Amino acid sequence: MIEEDLNEEQELFEHHRIVADKGQSLMRLDKFVTMRIEHATRTKVQKGIEFGSILVNNKKVKSNYQIKPADIVTVVLPNPPRNPELIAEDIPFDIAYEDEDLILVNKSPGMVVHPGFNNYSGTLVNALLYHFKQLPKYSDEMRPGLVHRIDKNTSGLILIAKSEDALVYLAKQFFYHSISRIYNAIVWGDVKEDKGTITGNIGRDLKDRRLSGVFSDPAIGKHAVTHYRVLERFGFCTLIECQLETGRTHQIRAHMKHIGHTLFADESYGGLKILKTSKLPKYEQFIQNCFEILPRQALHARTLGFIHPRTRENVHFESELPEDMKTVIDKLRSYTNS
């Protein structure tokens, strides 16, 4: 679990909003940004300006644009990777869709998305590099084509860009939360309301920095919103659908625990603790059998909807539940109806 969580700590892209002071003298945009963002090289910044991921007053301009007082500069740049080496590996993975601009991968549970601390090989990115030689390495970025990620033990759809233009176009949609993302999850307990919304800043847990915590203090963490809807009730467990309005590290896992409905089998957040509410026969043995079938958090990234970078049309993709979740849901249904 430590390997996964440390791998999840770093955001893929850094986001900045810089307002030029009233006394700001005229200065080239590339120099202005380079001076204000740590580790941002002039080359990296110029490339970002060229791609349109650095805007002034929400408009694309050139590197030699002269910054004036009160100008608002928004920046979306890839964070520097921790691991300088990226090795191509012949690892099989499931491609749900592919065209000349993007790839939709149906990630299996247990696969780490990109290299990080103690995970330098065997990741989806290692596999992508082997099968797709020309994926964009934006500003020498070591996570080619990657615009978002899902946790190691979460299954489902992940979006990969095949060109630099597509990478920037898609990354900006994630930044502005215009991507439609729906997950299926099994959670502990009987969720009271048929649908609801969880709002609470998400940041590193104060007791365990490998995990995410939910905070009411607006100064702690980042704004996060999760909408949920009940799909099926099993008494001691509930099958739900979660739609992300934002995309924070471990957002669904942290938000559901926050409202008292930890994800089933989620070891990091307490999901292996059996809820002592059912009086059905051989209840604890039944749950242990389910844990053996589903040895990871019961979370699946089912759908992705976004604007295609070339056609500018809204597109929507869906992934079926994996066999481990299907089997456990069938067992829950049979057990509670027996």
**Residues 109-120, mean pLDDT to the nearest whole number:** 79
The whole-chain average pLDDT of the chain stands at 89
Q: Which of 66-70, 118-122, 127-131, 197-201 has the lowest mean pLDDT?
A: 118-122
Residue 5 CA to residue 149 CA, distance in Å, equals: 13
Give the 3-state secondary structure of residue 300: strand
Three-state secondary structure call for residue 263: strand
Predicted pLDDT of residue 11 = 59
Position 12 scores a pLDDT of 65
Task: Give me the torsion for CA of 13, 51, 41, 43, rounded to 10°.
Answer: 150
Identity of residue 325: M
- The pLDDT score that the predictor gives to residue 82 is 53
Between CA 83 and CA 114 the distance in angstroms is 10
Q: Which element (helix H / strand E) includes 330?
A: helix 323-337
The pLDDT of residue 2 is above 50? no
Task: State pLDDT tens for residues 155-209.
Answer: 999 999 998 889 889 988 988 889 999 999 999 999 999 999 999 999 988 888 8
Q: Where are the alpha helices (DSSP H) in 181-308?
A: 251-258, 283-293
H-helix or E-strand spanning residue 303: strand 299-307
Q: In this model, does residue 270 exceed pLDDT 90?
A: yes
CA angle 178, 180, 186 (to 5 degrees): 140
Quick one: pLDDT at residue 210? 86
Q: Can you list the alpha helix ranges (DSSP code H) found in 118-163?
A: 124-131
- In the prediction, which pLDDT does 119 show? 67
CA distance 140 to 43: 10
Structure tokens at 9: 């700590």
The position carrying tokens 């590996």 is 89
The residues, ordered by sequence, that sit 6+ positions from 220 with a Cβ below 8 Å of its Cβ are 201, 203
Q: For the purposes of burial, counting CB atoms within 10 Å of the CB of 282, is it exposed (0-12), middle (13-18) or buried (19 or more)? A: exposed
Rounded Cα gap, residues 181 and 108, in angstroms: 17
pLDDT of residue 245: 94
Q: How far apart are CA 140 and CA 122, in angstroms?
A: 21
Residues 270-282, mean pLDDT to the nearest whole number: 93
What's the rounded Cα separation, in Å, for the pair 108 and 131?
17
Domains of the chain: 2-9+82-179 (3.30.2350.10), 13-78 (3.10.290.10), 181-303+315-337 (3.30.2350.10)
Instruction: Enter the pTM of the model.
Output: 0.77
CA distance 7 to 9: 6
Q: Catalytic site residues?
A: 151
SS3 assignment, position 171: helix
Q: In the chain, pLDDT over 70 holds for what percent of residues?
A: 91
| pLDDT for position 85 | 66
Question: How do residues 131-157 score in pLDDT, each as one tens digit?
Answer: 987 788 654 455 788 888 899 999 999
**Mean pLDDT across 235-250:** 95
